[in-house]
Structure 1
Amino acid sequence: MALALTDKVLAEKFWPAEGAALRFKQAVLVVAGIALLTVFAQIKVMVPPSPVAINMGTFAVLTIGAAYGARLGLVTILGYMLIGALGFDVFQSSTAELNGVSYMMGSTGGYLAGYVLAVVALGWLARRGWDRSVVLMALALLIGNVLLYVPGLVWLSHWIEITGKLNTATYGSLSSQTLAWGLTPFLIGDAMKLALAALIVPGLWKLVGRARG
């Protein structure tokens, strides 16, 4: 597994620039990334009784992390969080009644924190060339997904307790209910999203190589 630094991540290979032009390009990428996160978060399927929906937000998060690198990816995801915290409808299930910080402290709040960890991890690994191989990209995405789920499940478990939604008669225990609501319904969908991203990013690298070859 290659861990040596590579010269560029994917976003740096398009429209090379420096100085003011570089800053403009980075600003455009951040705005485009926030827009992508917003749109993909709305592509969702509810899986009752879980309060967490299957959505394409994780696909966007992991792909942006790999394509942008850790620093620009982090700026993008924090910009997305800030817009959401201000009350704009950018999250998967935010509404006129539940939005902003109140939404972020809800059942999915831990997954939002996981977005930050996943973006940084994918960017760090992409900088080391993992995004140029389907196998290594798949492994990087798996690592990112784990980092996304850990805070998501920890917070969901806490949220179930503090909101009085624990149902031991149905699930037997808090941990079983947490996994049933926050993990198991999403495994197949996540595997499909990871497979798609693992093909797309290395595929784009091949296209860049041919265009410059």
Structure 2
Amino acid sequence: MALAITSLPRNPSFAQGLGLALAGAALITLGAKVQIPFWPVPMTLHTLSVFLVALTLGPRLGLAAMAAYLGAGAAGLPVFSGTPERGIGLSYMVGPTGGYLLGYLVAAGLTGWLAMGRGWIGRVLAMLAGLTVVYAGGLAWLALFVPAPKLLAAGLTPFLLGDVVKVLLVATLLSGLSRLKGRDQ
């Protein structure tokens, strides 16, 4: 586990791991549904929920949760931000936000791995590394939909400050929970 803030078993069984991954996917879905409309990329709590899942479940289960979330979306379940209004399934995934979705998958594993056993600053740095991956994937894909001169204004600058605040919020929340459990890391 990345944070040991819960009483989760150190090596969960397959059923426990599956349950945790599905619970993580549900939390990520909730984060995607809380949104402030922007175009072409809506502002959501997606980043917060992905990092919260990655840091609490660790790299393996965090990655599994994100994969389950993407699998549910690919299968046509309305788990993504703006679904079903803006389409569902694979057609949504290849739209303007597709690169961010792929970036979240990589970031979930990377962030969980980098944050293992780290304190507040280490967690923040791990999430900033994950955020870099999300933006790299998101902007690279968004460039197919938005002209280069408008790319950063459409896919980065409106979201960067909010995402940094979300990173600080997750790190602080998890540190507080660790202290409550008597295991500040």
> For 1:38, which of 24, 29, 35 is the aligned residue?
29
- 1:26, CA displacement in angstroms? 1.5
- Distance in 2 of aligned mates of 1:124 and 1:26: 17
> For 1:84, which of 73, 78, 86 is the aligned residue?
73
* Equivalent residue letter for 2:125: L
Per-residue CA deviations over 1:73-117 (Å, capped at 9, x if unaligned) read 111111110110011100001225611000000000000010011
- 1:66, CA displacement in angstroms? 1.2
Match of 1:148 in 2: 134
Match of 1:29 in 2: 20
Query: Do structure 1's residue 200 and structure 2's residue 173 form an aligned pair?
Result: yes
Q: Structure 1 residue runs of 4+, over 4 Å off?
A: none
Distance 1:180 1:104, change over 3 A: same
- 1:58, CA displacement in angstroms? 0.8
1:163-178 superposed matches below 5 A = 166=147, 174=148, 176-178=149-151
- Distance in 1 of aligned mates of 2:160 and 2:58: 26
Of structures 1 and 2, the larger Rg is shown by 1
- 1:209, CA displacement in angstroms? 2.6
- 1:11, CA displacement in angstroms? 5.3
- Distance in 1 of aligned mates of 2:124 and 2:85: 37
Match of 2:122 in 1: 136
Is this contact kept in 2: 1:11–1:67, CA < 8 A?
yes
1:51-90 superposed matches below 5 A = 51-90=40-79
- Distance in 1 of aligned mates of 2:167 and 2:173: 10
* Equivalent residue letter for 1:64: V
Query: Do structure 1's residue 209 and structure 2's residue 178 form an aligned pair?
Result: no
- Distance in 2 of aligned mates of 1:102 and 1:87: 9
Gaps of 5+ in 1: 1-7, 161-165, 167-173
Q: TM-score, normalised by structure 2?
A: 0.91
Aligned length: 184
Report % sequence identity.
38
Q: TM-score, normalised by structure 1?
A: 0.79
- 1:17, CA displacement in angstroms? 6.6
